[in-house]
């Protein structure tokens, strides 16, 4: 039972750390609001899974083989815990998903409201439209 729990712990913990790393590098990865929210949701879900495996291993370590069935039964709580977490996160996800940012907006207002990444995108789009490639047929 300990080996099984330790294996699951390692898998879920590594996946959680990968999502934490992605969240730390969200600017480099250019994650939008929904992707950031999804990443945080995955971190929470993997945290729940790590917690369940730790509880299961602790039951076996503290009580030995006497309560091995209870340690195994703790894994039955996963669907309920993840269901509650998903229901909570989906409520907020829909609020973020339905939030629309207009095509043209004031950069100062966007920064004040926490939409710095939209300002950066708008500046990059403006630079790309301002640049005109030289015409190869035109004489120098």
How high is the pLDDT of residue 65? 80
Supply φ then ψ for residue 98, to 5 degrees. -80, -5
pLDDT at 43 > cutoff 70: yes
Token representation of residue 123:
């500046």
How high is the pLDDT of residue 27? 87
pTM exceeds 0.85, yes or no: no
The alpha carbon of residue 122 and the mean position of all alpha carbons in its chain are separated, in whole angstroms, by 24
Residue the block writes with tokens 């712990």: 9
Count Cβ neighbours within 10 Å for each residue of 92-126 and write b for 16 or more, e otherwise. Answer: eeeeeeeeeeeeeeeeeebeeeebebbbeebeeee
How high is the pLDDT of residue 111? 55
Rounded average pLDDT over 101-114? 50
């Amino acid at each position: 039972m300990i080996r099984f729990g330790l294996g699951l712990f390692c898998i879920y913990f590594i996946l959680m750390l990968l999502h934490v790393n992605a969240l730390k590098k969200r600017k480099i990865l250019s994650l939008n609001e929904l992707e950031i929210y999804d990443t945080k949701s995955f971190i929470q879900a993997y945290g729940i899974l790590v917690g369940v495996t730790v509880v299961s291993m602790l039951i076996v370590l503290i009580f030995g083989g006497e309560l091995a069935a209870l340690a195994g039964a703790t894994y039955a709580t996963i669907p309920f815990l993840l269901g509650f977490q998903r229901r909570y996160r989906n409520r907020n996800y829909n609020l973020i998903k339905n939030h629309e940012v207009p095509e043209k907006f004031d950069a100062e207002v966007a920064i004040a409201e926490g939409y710095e990444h939209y300002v950066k995108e708008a500046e990059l789009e403006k630079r790309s439209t301002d640049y005109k490639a030289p015409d190869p047929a035109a004489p120098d």
